[in-house]
Each structure stands twice: as C-alpha cells, then as structure tokens.
Amino acid sequence: MLFLAVPLLAGACGSGGGSGSSSAYCQQLRNAAEEAKRSTTTSAPNMAALQVAFDKALAKIAKKAPSELKDDYKILSEYVDLRFQAVIDPAKVDQKRIAELDPQYRKASTAIQDYNKRVCKFESTTTTERVTATTTAAVTTTAKPTATTKR
C-alpha cells in the first residue's frame, strides 16, 4: 500500500491568493489542484504514468515555491518518487532510505501545508486516502496469482 500524505495536489481552494512573490506559487497550487480534479479516475491507474504526471506537477509547484519551502519540496519529491517506486517495482526500492526520509517527509509536508493555508489561503487535504485507494485498486487489478489450482 502506498502512503502519501502529499499536501498539495488535492484540496479545496480558499479565497485569496497570497501577495507579492507568493502569488505565483499560490496560483500554481490552484492550477495543480484543478488539474488533479480533472484527471481523477476510478479505474486502476498506470502507476508509472501517474508518477510522471505527479512529478511534473510537483516540479512546477516547487519551481514557484518560496525559498523557505525549497528544501521541503526536495524532500517531498524524493520521498514521493521512492513511494511510487515501491509500488511499481518493490524489489528495486531502498526501503532503508524510505524509513530515513519518513520523519523528514512528515515535517516537510506539514511545513508546506501550513504555508499553503496561511499564505495562499489554500485549504488542502492530504491525498493519503485518494492515493492509497488508487494504489490499492491498481495493485489489486494488476496482481497476478502466484499459483493456480485445478479441480
């Protein structure tokens, strides 16, 4: 099961948009949230394609992020990539690195979410439930039986 508490790509956009240099960042958050809503599907996703799309959206947001969040986005990006890879090809994932990053990821995720709420008036929710459900569906749909029984 994939656990991602990504505090940006799914949420309800509040009113207001931040000011100064934060306004471009805040607008990028809103754009990403709208894109995520449009691209939500109930079918099992192609996890590799989902990772590519997510990485692109995250990179756009991170590029506009204020300097105080740049390191948080680096941690977020690495962690999310590792978690996607854990679903796509678990044998190739460095589980020790995921464990090392987990507390840093939680701190970075909280910092990003707090900033988004405080400055951008972007009331976001984590995508834990959505991504977990989507990933579970993908794993269930693509899982192959390990043995067959004949009667």
Compute CA distances 71 → 78, 111, 114, whole Å: 11, 10, 15
- The pLDDT value recorded for residue 42 is 59
The residue with greater pLDDT, 37 or 150, is: 37
Instruction: Name the band, by pLDDT with cuts 50, 70 and 90, for residue 124.
Output: low
Q: Which tens digits make up the pLDDT trace of 21-72?
A: 578 999 988 888 888 777 666 566 788 888 888 888 899 999 999 999 999 9
pLDDT at residue 44, rounded to an integer: 66
Evaluate whether residue 148 is within a structural domain: no
What is the pTM for the complete model shown?
0.69
In a domain, 1, yes or no: no
Give the range of the structural domain holding residue 96, as residue numbers without chain letter.
Answer: 11-142
Count: domains in the chain: 1
Distance between CA atoms of residues 39 and 45, nearest Å = 11
C-alpha to C-alpha distance for 147 and 37, rounded to whole angstroms: 39
The answer as to whether 19 is a domain residue is yes
Q: What is the CA radius of gyration of the chain?
A: 17
3 assigned to some structural domain: no
Structural domain contains residue 6? no
What are the b/e assignments for 47-62, b being 16+ CB within 10 Å? beebbebbeebbeebb
Residue 112 belongs to some domain of the structure: yes
Residue-wise pLDDT for 71-123, tens only, equals 999 999 999 999 999 989 999 999 999 999 999 999 999 999 999 999 998 87
Q: What is the pLDDT of residue 10?
A: 41
Whether residue 128 is contained in a domain is answered as yes
Question: Is 4 part of a structural domain of the chain?
Answer: no
